[in-house]
């Protein structure tokens, strides 16, 4: 419900919940998670197609090591190479060596954009439906080359989402302020009227906070990550907890 108050001759729109008008969501590992294509056995198949043999037991450690490739440095422009390096690093850390490495890494990169390889977390639809029904604008901000329009169609999210910005089309990666600014203006809200929800401290939380947006860290694995320096950043384990957190803003 949106209330209109008249004070000192001007209308003041009161946000439905606290001061928030818009909630932005990260996509990967916030709304969706990869299926078997991107599990250990899937990477074994990627390798096999390019003549690379890998040790599937090393998959978890390989992904952990490769994640460093996705941290954004001073140059926050979107470059496919950054993501290609991620796939290459996973295969290498799993022991894959050979001339097929580059082509293999490129195939992994291309396949990551295919919605059919991903599933929606169970808590997504109920949370989006509830927030949308209460009058909040919902948006997506994603460091991705996946077409976010196709993504919304595939998972039937169009009824809830008012705007979506991907770094491959916008040009910059989270946490660069530019991609958040584009998203805010797409939904017509100010930074302090918006909140970012995501699983990455360095991309989602840090990016939003530097602009004065609210931020919520989604810690689905309950790793106990806490934002000690920013007590105003709530940590939730499920999107089911999001409405309560927003109500407190
Ligand atoms: Mg994410």
Please tell me the least confidently modeled range out of 136-140, 194-198, 231-235: 231-235
CATH number among 1.10.10, 3.40.50, 1.10.3470, 1.10.150, domain 36-114: 1.10.150
How far away, in angstroms, is 248 Cα from ligand 1 center? 24
How far away, in angstroms, is 42 Cα from ligand 1 center? 20
How far away, in angstroms, is 72 Cα from ligand 1 center? 13
Question: Parallel, antiparallel, or unpaired: how do β-strands 214-218 and 3-7 relate?
Answer: unpaired
Q: Where are the domains of the chain?
A: 3-31+121-247, 36-114
Q: Identify the band that residue 1 occupies on the pLDDT scale cut at 50, 70 and 90.
A: very low
Q: What are phi and psi of 7, to 5 degrees?
A: -130, 130
Structure tokens at 97: 């060596």
How far away, in angstroms, is 101 Cα from ligand 1 center? 25
Residue 160 DSSP code: T
Q: Identify the band that residue 10 occupies on the pLDDT scale cut at 50, 70 and 90.
A: very low
Rounded-to-integer distance, Cα 150 and Cα 112, Å? 13
CATH 3.40.50.1000 fits 3-31+121-247, yes or no: yes
Please determine, for residue 55, whether its predicted confidence score (pLDDT) is greater than 90.
Answer: yes
Other beta carbons within 10 Å of 36: 10
Helix (H) or strand (E) holding 124: helix 124-133
How far away, in angstroms, is 32 Cα from ligand 1 center? 9
How far away, in angstroms, is 30 Cα from ligand 1 center? 5
The answer to whether the beta carbons of residues 95 and 89 sit under 8 Å apart is: no
pLDDT of residue 16: 43
The answer to whether the beta carbons of residues 199 and 237 sit under 8 Å apart is: no
Residues 65-99: pLDDT tens digits?
Answer: 999 988 877 889 999 999 999 999 999 999 999 99
Please give the mean pLDDT across all residues of the chain: 91
Residues 17-29: pLDDT tens digits?
Answer: 567 999 999 999 9
Rounded-to-integer distance, Cα 243 and Cα 138, Å? 13
Residues 99-109: pLDDT tens digits?
Answer: 999 999 999 99
Rounded-to-integer distance, Cα 199 and Cα 26, Å? 7
**Residues in the 5 Å CB sphere of ion ligand 1:** 26, 28-29, 199
What is the pTM for the complete model shown?
0.90
């Amino acid at each position: 419900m949106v209330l209109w108050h008249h004070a000192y001759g001007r209308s003041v729109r009161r946000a439905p919940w606290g001061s928030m008008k818009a909630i932005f969501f990260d996509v990967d590992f916030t709304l969706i998670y990869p299926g078997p294509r991107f599990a250990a056995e899937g990477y074994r198949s990627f390798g096999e197609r390019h003549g690379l043999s890998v040790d599937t037991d090393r998959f978890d450690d390989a992904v952990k090591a490769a994640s460093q490739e996705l941290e954004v440095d001073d140059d926050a422009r979107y470059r496919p190479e950054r993501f290609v390096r991620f796939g290459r690093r996973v295969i290498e850390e799993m022991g894959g060596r050979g001339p097929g490495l580059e082509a293999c890494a490129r195939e992994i990169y291309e396949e990551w954009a295919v919605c059919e390889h991903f599933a929606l977390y169970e808590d997504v639809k109920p949370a989006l439906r509830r927030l949308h029904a209460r009058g909040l604008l919902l948006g997506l901000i994603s460091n991705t080359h996946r077409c976010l329009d196709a993504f919304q169609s595939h998972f039937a999210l169009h009824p809830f989402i008012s705007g979506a910005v991907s770094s491959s089309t916008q040009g910059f990666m989270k946490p660069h302020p530019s991609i958040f600014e584009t998203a805010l203006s797409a939904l017509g809200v100010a930074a302090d009227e918006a909140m970012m929800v995501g699983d990455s401290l360095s991309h989602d939380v840090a990016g939003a906070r530097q602009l004065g947006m609210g931020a919520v860290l989604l810690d689905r694995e309950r790793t106990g990550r806490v934002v000690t320096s920013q007590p105003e950043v709530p940590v939730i384990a499920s999107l089911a907890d999001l409405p309560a957190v927003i109500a407190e803003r």
